[in-house]
Amino acid sequence: DAKTTQPPSMDCAEGRAANLPCNHSTISGNEYVYWYRQIHSQGPQYIIHGLKNNETNEMASLIITEDRKSSTLILPHATLRDTAVYYCIVRVGGGATNKLIFGTGTLLAVQP
């Protein structure tokens, strides 16, 4: 079972920041938080990952709470092409396997 909880859907106005929350209250100390997204009819796409510190790349920012029980993915200026299902994943296993356990994700609908 997925170790994360996300809202099933969210709306965001084009050009605005999209803030996608994720709860992972049972995360272990050595587990990373990964975010992927899946645009309709495509394979999932990696966005960002983090362990403890906040992270930023060209796609998004990841804010992880100090207790690591939740995180927020921020798309600073959402566009229509950002409409997708966003998956928050806690990486299971270590060394021997790196499978990703996908939950149901959040469907982000960016509105014009």
**Residues contributing to the site for other proteins (CB under 8 A):** 2, 30, 32, 34, 36, 42-46, 49, 87, 91, 94, 96-105
- Cα(30)–Cα(42) distance, integer angstroms: 30
Closest approach of Cβ 49 to other proteins, in Å? 7
The answer to whether 89 and 36 are in contact (CB under 8 A) is yes
Q: What is d(CA 81, CA 65) in angstroms, rounded to the nearest whole number?
A: 28
Q: Return the number of the residue (14 or 107) whose C-beta is nearest other proteins.
A: 107
Report, in Å, the least distance between residue 97 CB and other proteins: 4
- Give 2 or 63: the residue with its C-beta nearer to other proteins: 2
CA–CA separation, 56 and 84 (whole Å): 20
